[in-house]
Every structure is written in structure tokens, then in C-alpha cells.
Structure 1
Amino acid sequence: MTQPEPAPEQRDRTVEQSSRWQQAMRDIVGGSAMISVLAVLLALIAGGILIAVTDARVQQTAGYFFARPGDMLAAIWNAVSKAYLALFRGSIYNFARDDVGSALTSLTDTLVFATPLIAAGLGVGLGFRAGLFNIGGRGQMIMAAAAAGWVGFSFNLPPVIHVIVAVAAGLIAGGIWGGIVGLLKAKTGAHEVIVTIMLNFVALYFLMYMLRTPGLLQAPGGNTPKTPPMEPTAIFPPLFPGHNVHWGFLTAIAATVYVWWLLNRSSMGFQFRAVGINPNAARTAGMSVSSVYIWTMTISGALCGLAGVNQVLGTVTSGFSSGIDAGIGFDAITVALLGRSRPWGIFAAGLLFGAFKAGGFTMQAAAQVPVDIVLVVQSLIVLFIAAPPLVRAIFRLPTPGTAPRRRVRASDRRAEKGAAA
């Protein structure tokens, strides 16, 4: 018995629902989140190729590859798996340890490295959303570290109050240093990239001057350009006994929540996003583009300053020198790009790069792989993130927003030819 054909209205409704689901799947598969994941995967594959090429055993077996190809393939597998296994042990879970607490030290080290990356990445990402390129995270970190460090070793305050005052001093210093850029951008039209690069050098040399001047940041009784150690009351307490991760990680989580709320739930964030999309249209709609530039760079500078605060109050509490930024200001640009300038995306990207930093040293020590391979992987991630069409072409992903190709049945094609005839 043949089934009755569905009514035309029901058939059209079914086709419409099917096309809607197909469009949703195309948007998910070809979206920015999938591109970010695949960019990391491609970078890890390229890193594995570099590890194999530089391995001594692989080079040795390559000499007689055509005689015994299995030896070279086994050597490649051993080199790559050993390196990435060491990366996992150093960043997530070290199963070579006897107890769970010691094994999780790798994860807590990842959180320590990720904390300043998340904070600075949020600052850079916020600037991106408003159409500004804040490349001055290094200078903002340095000024915040100087202010928080000075409060940290110069005052004798109660424990909780001392930490709060030191953090507030760092945020204000970083915010002022970033606000200078926004003010110059708004009032004179100066390009923020040029201004932030110049202010990076100003902050660096100003810090070096203060570290060599008694009575400012230099530790008393010596000529070493280094600050005194922080007072115990100004140091972030540890989150878990026996581990390096401290309360600064909670400040990174709080900053992520704040930036998410600012961009998605506040009127100021709406203005940030509107100016970032089209400043002329925002100005026509009655928004003050100049105020948006100033506030964006001020908040961005404060977030980057939070990274500097975490350095001096949670990582190098024994005193710091002119290298306190540790390249985090520039790594934050990569984190913001990988996170697509979305707060929780930046948070996840910061964790990933924190894992790279924590596991890179273990990979170098256990697998004899140069730590520079990790830097190459990070650079390749930026390369693939900056070229979504390349990633889509490699994995044959659809472009979001485009309609899928409609398959024409043979009967429909014959009917069309008959109608045309």
C-alpha cells in the first residue's frame, strides 16, 4: 500500500525546518569558535612535524627509510608522542607523581601562568571590540606593577586592607597610563598603536630610573636595580596549601565576568561595540565617540594593569626588576585574537597559553625538545587565526551565513528541460 503524499503546506514546512537546521549546522561548523579550535589543532600538527624533523633518532632512521620505513615511522611517533605527553604532564596532570595533590601541581602551575595572560588579554580584547588596538599592555603592566609594588613594600597595613590598597593602586596606575592614549586619540586623533608603542618605552625607562634611584623603588642598602620584597600582608594568599596558584586567579575570573557584563549587559558596552563596528554611524546616533575612546583605553589599561599586579603580588613577591612584564603584554594580543575578543573565549585562550608555558619547560627537560617549539606553535596559532579562509579550505568548512547548495533531482531536471522546450 502506498503512503499518501503529504500536503503541500506540510511539505513546505518540513523543507523549511530542514533548511533551518542545515543553516544552523553550517554556522556552527564554520563559525569562529570552530576556526579557533582547528587553528590550535593545525598548529599542534605543525609543531609535531618540527619536533620530528629536529629529532636525532628520526634523522638517523631517515638515512635508510626505503630499506626499513617502519623504523622512521616509529621514531617519528616516539618523538612526537613523548614531547606532547611531557607537555600534558607539565601542564595538566603529572601521572608520574605518587599522590593526586602532587600530580595536580602541573594544573595549578598552568593557572599561575594563565592569570596575567587572561587579565591582559581582556584589556586587549576590550580595545578590539571598540575598534582600538591596544599594543601598550607592556607599559600599562609596568606602571601598575611599579605602583602596586611600591604600596606592597612601603606600607605596613592590615592583611586584607593592604592587598586591596595595592591592587587598587595598580589598577589606577594602569588605567591612567591607558587613559592617556585614549585622551590623545580623542582630542588630537593620534593613532593608538604609535602612542602605545612609545609609552611602552617611556614606562620601561621610567621603571629603570626608579629601580636605580634610592628612595623610589630600589631596595635600600644595595646598588642592584631591584625592589625590596613585598610585605607578607600585601601578597595574594594561596588558593590551595602547597600549590603556587593564588587568589590572583580569582581576580582574573572576576575581571572576565566584569568584561562580559560590561559588553553584553551595560549601555556603555553597547556604545563600545557600536563605535567598534562603525564610529561614524555611532556619532550620527548621538554617541560620544571621544568619550568611548577615553573610557575604553582607561578600562583596557586597568585590565592590563591587573596583570602587572598579579606579577608583583602573586609571582615575584621577593622583589622585581625591569623584566617584570615577562612578555605578557605582547602575548596578550595572541590570547585576545585566539579568544575572538570575547571574554570567555579569552579566558579559555589564556588557560591554553598558560598550559603551553607551564608544559613547555617539562617538554624541554623530559623530551629534550627546545622550548622554542612552543613559541612556534603559538605563532602558528596566530597565523591560522588570522586566515580563516585557509582553515576553511583545509577542512572544507562552509562559510557562515551562506546557503547550502540545493541538490536537484534528476526528475526535476527533466521537468525543467521539458518546460523549457
Structure 2
Amino acid sequence: MSGHNPSTGATGDAGLPPEQLPTASGPLTGHSPAETPAPPRTNQFLTELLRSSWITTLLAVVAAMIVGGILMAATNDQVRETSGYFFARPGDMLGAIWNSVYGGYEALFRGAVFNSRVSDFGAQIRPLTNTLGFAAPLIAAGLGVALAFRVGLFNIGGRGQILIACAFAGLITFNLNLPMIIQLPLTLVAGIAGGAIWGGIVGLLKARTGAHEVILTIMLNYVAYYLVTWMVRTPGLLQRPAGDQPISAATPANAQFPKLLGPQFPLLDLGFVLVVIATVFVWWLMERSSLGFRLRAVGENPHAARAAGISVPRMYVYAMLFAGGLAGLAGMNQIQGAVTTGFDGLIDSGIGFDAITVALLGRSRPWGVFAAGILFGALKSGSFTMQASQGIPVDIVLVVQALIVLFIAAPPLVRTIFFLPKSEAERAAKDRAKAAKKAVAA
């Protein structure tokens, strides 16, 4: 017990003199310790990991899957039937919910990755090849949208760029009868050039007139659609010879992408390899080249870039040329790989707009877009099996895709749902709000 020691005349714990006692510190004494120990490195690593965009993206997908599972259960006939006597036999409803959700996602996996219900190995891995085939045009178009995002442009003209790419390729090469070694790359180059020109028009108009790229791309989407629709209805242009249907001629055999693993895997062709090459190219362009540095500088702050001597209008033109060319590559995946029997104004199949979702999910980074394209390809491939084997509407998959975008666009919501630590920007904003509130109260 501390106090005065009459035998020694000193005070303190255990009779120690004051100079030998430890210095008191803390919030109650008014004295702070001389040095606050740093938090363990493990804590810092975990905090930074939980704040990373990759964790937020992954958990956004998880949250979307959870909501998708709820929708599967809510639309299941057996779940609705057993809910009528839930309080009498709750196990029946819980079992029906489990069967609905597990069956749906098991069918999704079976239709997108690996089908364990068949004995032939080729049939087992065919779902994975279908996923890669569906993903190829999404990745190509998504790279175009992501590249424009990095330059501060919102390119929603992927649909028009895909259509014009297909029209260019059809006009230039479909009537030729050249060896495959010439006609295949010629068709590919013509399509990429067509998409680049259509995208470059947007960049040029924005650079010269200051017109907003969103308005330009939306309007050019309509122009491209009606132009291609007219061309496939007009003999001598794109309409199939000796036919009266509004459809183009079939893609010549010499211009079609060869199958990578043979006819047993019809959706996996050379187009996927070209998409991988395009991903590497976009990564090198944006992260390693001097042109990419200038493009990123314009995207970060066009005023500072202009002050540094960078031609902002020229960067806008370059960005839209690249974006349109990548959308053109997506179009070539369609007419040289997926749809070789002829095309019309619906050849884009929604890829131009889905590419925006892929770019957002991939955080506008090339390999992020690549991974996002694989995910959306898997959702598309697996949705058919879900509908066929479980009776789950394909629309549920579309809802899951929309929810992924919703959660990706609201990182604070994801962090709140999963109790993740706030980012520095969020903490700073919260501190500023508190300070402003105190100032108003004072």
C-alpha cells in the first residue's frame, strides 16, 4: 500500500523514494508516454489487405451471389409451397431453400467450369472452354472501355464500334477467295480498323469541338445500327447474294478462326489467344510506354497534363482509336468465331454494353478486366445449365451481374456489410464531417 513511510521519511510504493518510482503517464495524468509503440506489422498488413480494392471487389461478388441465392430461393416453387406450413415443419422449408440455392450454384459451376456428371474428359472440360469462348469478346470490348476510362473518357459506344467493324470486314473481305493465311488476318485487320475509325471519330470530335463523348457515342451507336441494318437489306452491299433475308453472307471458311482444341470444343478458337495478346498489349501500353504515361496523365488531370506540354486533344484521339480498335477485335470474335453464318444489326449481342460492366469490375486495369471477363463468361455459360437442370430463369444471372456492378460502385457499402476497416479517404472525410459539426455547434 502506497503512502508515507515514517521510518525513512520517503513516500511511494514499497517505501521507495520518489526519484526511483516509474513516471506516471496516460490520459488521466496529462502526461503522454515518450514513445508510442508501433502496431505489429501483421496488423498493418491485414489492415492494408482488407482495405485493398481486390478484397472489396471479391466481396462485392460474394454479396451479389448471396443476394442471387436469396432470389433463387424466393422464386423456387418448392420453397413457396413449404413456406405455407413453415411453423408446423420448418425443416421442410429450410431443406427446400438449401436445395434451391445449392442446386442453382452447382449447376452454374457444372455449366461453366467442370461437369463431373459425365465420364468423358472432353465433355467434362467443355464447360470451361465455353466460358473462355464467351469471355473473349467481353474482354476485348472491356479493354477498350477500360482504356478510355483511364484517359478520363466514358466510351459507351462499343456497340456501334462492333457493328462498324463487322461491316468493314464484310465489305472488304467476304467476297474474296484468298488463302487462309492471307484472308484470315486481312479480315481481322479490316475489322479492327473499322472499329478504330468509328471510335476515332468520337475522339476527333471531342478534341476539335469539345463535344461530350457520352452523347457522341450514344448517337453513333444508333447511326451504326441503322446503317448496318440498311446494308444487310441492300443487294450489292452486305445482303446475302441470291437471298431476300436481311442478313449478310456467311463468313468465308478461309476467314474463320481455327478451333484451338478441335471441333469438340466449338467455342474456344484463335480469338481467345488474340484477346490474351491484346491484354498484354494494353498492359504494356498503359503501364510501360511513354504514350501510356501521357494518356494516364490526361486521365488524372488534363489541366496539369496540358501545363506539362502534353497535347490533351491528341491523347483523346489516340485513346478512342485504341478503344474502337479493341471493340473491333470483339466484333471479329463474333463473326470469325461465334457467328459465322451471317450477321445483322444485332451481332453485338449486348457485348458493347456488358463491356462497361466488365471494365468497372476490373477496375479499368488490363488483367482485372481479363479476370472480370472470365467471370462474366462463366456466368453466361453456366446460366444455360441453371435454366435447363434447375428451372432457374436466366434473368437471375443478369440480376447477379447488375448487383455486382452496384456493389462495385459503392465500396463503402461493401465495407459496411462485411465490417472492413475504412479507407484513409473515408476516415479523413469522417473526421472533416465531425470537425464541421463541432464548428457549427460552437
TM-score, normalized by length of structure 2? 0.86
The AA in structure 1 aligned to 2:123 is: S
The question of 1:293 aligning with 2:316 is answered yes
Residue 305 of structure 1 is aligned with which of 300, 325, 328? 328
Cα deviation, residue 151, structure 1: 3.7
| Alpha-carbon separation, structure 1, partners of 2:242 and 2:148 | 42
Q: 1:343 to 1:13 in 2, by over 3 A?
A: farther
Residue 368 of structure 1 is aligned with which of 391, 396, 402? 391
The question of 1:120 aligning with 2:141 is answered yes
2:362 corresponds in structure 1 to 339
| Equivalences for residues 54-133 of structure 1 within 5 A | 54-133=75-154
| Equivalences for residues 318-333 of structure 1 within 5 A | 318-333=341-356
The question of 1:243 aligning with 2:258 is answered no
CA contact (8 A) 1:183 1:294 kept: yes
| Equivalences for residues 139-158 of structure 1 within 5 A | 139-158=160-179
Q: Deviations over 1:350-380 (max 9, x none)?
A: 0000001111011001000000000000000
Instruction: Report the secondary structure of 1:154's partner residue.
Output: coil
The AA in structure 1 aligned to 2:320 is: M
2:371 corresponds in structure 1 to 348
The AA in structure 1 aligned to 2:232 is: L
| Alpha-carbon separation, structure 1, partners of 2:36 and 2:347 | 61
2:19 corresponds in structure 1 to none
The question of 1:257 aligning with 2:241 is answered no
The AA in structure 2 aligned to 1:294 is: V
Report % sequence identity.
58
The question of 1:387 aligning with 2:410 is answered yes
Q: 1:212 to 1:77 in 2, by over 3 A?
A: same
TM-score, normalized by length of structure 1? 0.91
RMSD of Structure 2 on Structure 1 (CA): 1.7
| Alpha-carbon separation, structure 2, partners of 1:89 and 1:340 | 28
Q: 1:403 to 1:312 in 2, by over 3 A?
A: closer
| Alpha-carbon separation, structure 2, partners of 1:347 and 1:338 | 10
The AA in structure 2 aligned to 1:324 is: I
1:276 corresponds in structure 2 to 299
| Alpha-carbon separation, structure 2, partners of 1:48 and 1:89 | 17
CA contact (8 A) 1:149 1:313 kept: no
Cα deviation, residue 148, structure 1: 1.9
Point out where structure 1 has 5 or more consecutive residues left out of the alignment: 1-11, 405-421
1:419 corresponds in structure 2 to none
CA contact (8 A) 1:148 1:312 kept: no
CA contact (8 A) 1:120 1:137 kept: yes
Cα deviation, residue 13, structure 1: 11
Q: Deviations over 1:167-190 (max 9, x none)?
A: 100111100000000011111000
| Alpha-carbon separation, structure 2, partners of 1:57 and 1:391 | 31
Instruction: Pick 1 or 2: higher relative contact order, CA cutoff 8 A, min separation 6.
Output: 1
The AA in structure 1 aligned to 2:199 is: G
| Alpha-carbon separation, structure 1, partners of 2:287 and 2:36 | 35
Cα deviation, residue 272, structure 1: 1.1
Residue 339 of structure 2 is aligned with which of 312, 316, 322? 316
Instruction: Report the secondary structure of 1:243's partner residue.
Output: coil
Q: Deviations over 1:249-288 (max 9, x none)?
A: 0011011000000111001111111111111111111111
2:421 corresponds in structure 1 to 398
Q: How many residues are matched?
A: 393
Cα deviation, residue 401, structure 1: 3.9
CA contact (8 A) 1:36 1:385 kept: yes
Q: 1:13 to 1:162 in 2, by over 3 A?
A: farther
Cα deviation, residue 21, structure 1: 4.8
| Alpha-carbon separation, structure 2, partners of 1:13 and 1:325 | 63
